Chain A
Amino acid sequence: MVFIAILIGCILGAILGLNAPMISYTYSSYLAIAIIAALDSVFGGIASVIKKNFDLKIFISGFFGNAILAILLTILGQKLNVDIYLAAIVVFVWRMFMNLGTIRRYYVEKWSDMIKEKASKKDKDKKQEKQEEKTEEK
């Protein structure tokens, strides 16, 4: 359900983005950092859904707060001639990897459990068959 919604959102966004007007080059660096912040928020959201501690207020405030803070930092950095946005990117990407790790661990564990269950079921079936064969032979 969650992933279907994400997929639909992505497709709609791409379609609208292809038809939307282009922004001016001056602001493209701000949009870039906002994209990274939003990406981080989305990964964080998925991870928290998996961890079952998803809080709507925290998620939405994080989405906008992170993006706005990152843009403000970029502007400040340009005024001070320091590449502050690099720090923002490092933090966001680091958190993205952490969240991705959570998501990955959850699914790997789920799948390995499923495989184990199947394997044990098969073993049981085989044992049962063998037992049945033995009983028939007897």
Chain B
Amino acid sequence: MPNKKLISIILGVMCFALTLGIVVQVRTIRSTNSTISQNQEANELRDEILRYKERYDNRFAQLEEAEKELEKEREEATKNNSELEQAQQQITEGNKLTGMTEVTGPGVTITLTDGTGIATSTLNPSQLIVHDLDVLSVVNELINAGAEAISINDQRWVLTTAISCRGNTIDINGERIGAPFVIKAIGLPEYLAGLERVGGYLELMRGQGVGVNLERSNSITIPKYSGVINFEYLQNVEK
């Protein structure tokens, strides 16, 4: 039997590894927000979804890297050719307009949060919640006020964006988004802040008990659209 010092050191190191593993595991499980249900099938399905999501995220990161590389190659290829350079500029400009690039500029940030009032004290408890139509109306008013780029919880508003109800969440660009909704818009801040006018939609929502906050800012960054815009039926009219 080895001496007691060695035993305690070895046991200490083992316990160190053990607690390290336990803490890392607990943090991982907590970060995935997975609740363990009694139903094994539900557990397995949840497991699968989490795995797919991880794979999707990895692929997405790869795609982004590839896109960066493409951009670099394109720049290099068009370096010494003025005609190609012009075409390149057109592409960049077009991407900016269609929402395929990250953009920045002055604008406003509107935050919509579900009301914190007591549901039974209002006539219609449904009013306390931010609905898809609320988000849609705010976006509509922003466009009306001259917003040039809009994002809702980092989902870029593009040509093909639809905002629809998905139970207790909202579907934007095919992604599920939950409250609170942070709507960012780039445009002239003074115009965009006009959404707070008396009788406007924001005031209507405030009256219903929904939390509304509008903030002007000189630099707002709006992410690019992460999907692909594909038109199948659209054709140019030949003159």
Please name all residues of chain A whose beta carbon is closer than 8 Å to the beta carbon of B51 when the two chains form the complex. 25-26
Please name all residues of chain B whose beta carbon is closer than 8 Å to the beta carbon of A18 when the two chains form the complex. 23, 27
Instruction: Give min CB distance, A89 to chain B, whole Å.
Output: 14
A13 and B20 contacting across the interface, CB-CB below 8 Å? yes
Please name all residues of chain A whose beta carbon is closer than 8 Å to the beta carbon of B29 when the two chains form the complex. 28
User: Which residue from A5, A13, A23, A56 sits with its C-beta under 8 Å from B18?
Assistant: A13
User: Which residue from A8, A35, A49 sits with its C-beta under 8 Å from B7?
Assistant: A49
User: Which residue from B11, B27, B54 sits with its C-beta under 8 Å from A42?
Assistant: B11
- Asked if A31 CB lies within 8 Å of chain B CBs, one says yes
- Asked if B60 CB lies within 8 Å of chain A CBs, one says no
A41 and B50 contacting across the interface, CB-CB below 8 Å? no
A56 and B4 contacting across the interface, CB-CB below 8 Å? no
Q: Write the A1-24 contact mask toward B (1 if CB under 8 angstroms, else 0).
A: 110111011111110111010111
Least CB separation from A42: chain B residue: B14
State the CA gap A56–B11 with chains docked (Å): 10
A35 and B22 contacting across the interface, CB-CB below 8 Å? yes
Q: Does more than half of chain A's interface fall in helix, strand or loop, or is it mixed?
A: helix
State the CA gap A16–B12 with chains docked (Å): 14
B18 and A17 contacting across the interface, CB-CB below 8 Å? no
A9 and B14 contacting across the interface, CB-CB below 8 Å? yes
Please name all residues of chain A whose beta carbon is closer than 8 Å to the beta carbon of B7 when the two chains form the complex. 2, 45, 49, 54, 56
B54 and A25 contacting across the interface, CB-CB below 8 Å? yes
Please name all residues of chain B whose beta carbon is closer than 8 Å to the beta carbon of A13 when the two chains form the complex. 15-20, 22-23
Give residues in A with beta carbon < 8 Å to B.
1-2, 4-6, 8-14, 16-18, 20, 22-26, 28, 31-32, 34-35, 38-39, 41-42, 45-46, 49, 52-56, 59-60, 63
What are the 10 tightest A-B residue pairs by CB atom distance, in nearest-first order? Answer: A17-B23, A13-B19, A5-B12, A9-B15, A5-B8, A9-B12, A9-B16, A13-B20, A13-B16, A17-B20
Known: A5-B11, A5-B15, A17-B19. 13 other contacts (CB 8 A): A2-B11, A9-B15, A10-B15, A10-B18, A13-B20, A17-B21, A18-B23, A18-B27, A25-B32, A31-B21, A45-B7, A45-B11, A52-B1
21 contacts between A and B (CB under 8 A): A2-B11, A5-B9, A5-B12, A6-B8, A6-B12, A9-B16, A9-B18, A14-B19, A24-B28, A26-B54, A31-B25, A35-B18, A38-B21, A41-B14, A42-B15, A49-B7, A49-B11, A52-B1, A54-B1, A56-B2, A56-B7
